Amino acid sequence: MSDNEIKDQGVRENEQYYVEDTVQVVFLVFATCILLSIFSLFLMCYARYRSKRPIQPGFYRPVPKVLRQFHKPSKSSASRNSDYGYINKRPSAPSAMSSAT
């Protein structure tokens, strides 16, 4: 064997490894894209499932006013305004005394 034949054999082996490695990289990129597509499909299905569920009553969707139970404020409450937005009609003690005189 001459030096040229040994070099040619080495070049052929390098080309073979180059082709094998290129095929492996292409397959790895393809498999990664397929995996990402599957994950995005699962996420889209889960989002569709979440959007079709009935929303439970809460802060963003309050119970209708017909079903709400309003409690009258206690007589010993310090605030003139109740938590529900209407004004307490009971006058406070100092203003009632001043109007009586």
> How far, in Å, CA of 23 to CA of 43, rounded?
30
What is the token pair recorded at 48?
A: 């569709």
User: Does 51 reside within a domain?
Assistant: yes
- Residues 69 and 83: their CA atoms lie apart, in Å, by 13
> 7 lies in a domain?
yes
Question: Looking at residue 65, what is its pLDDT?
Answer: 73
Within-domain flag for 18: yes
Span 25-41, pLDDT tens digits: 999 999 999 999 999 99
Does some domain include residue 24? yes
Does the predicted TM-score (pTM) go above 0.75? no
Q: How far apart (Å, rounded) are the C-alpha atoms in residues 11 and 68? A: 84
Distance (Å, rounded) from C-alpha 50 to C-alpha 44? Answer: 10
Mean pLDDT of the chain, nearest integer = 74
- Number of structural domains (the chain) is 1
Helix ranges (H only) for the chain are 3-52, 93-100
Residue 100 located in a structural domain: no
- Provide the residue range defining the domain that includes 52: 1-57
Q: Could you report the per-residue pLDDT of 45-81, keeping only the tens digit for each?
A: 999 998 887 777 777 777 777 765 666 666 665 555 5
98 inside domain: no
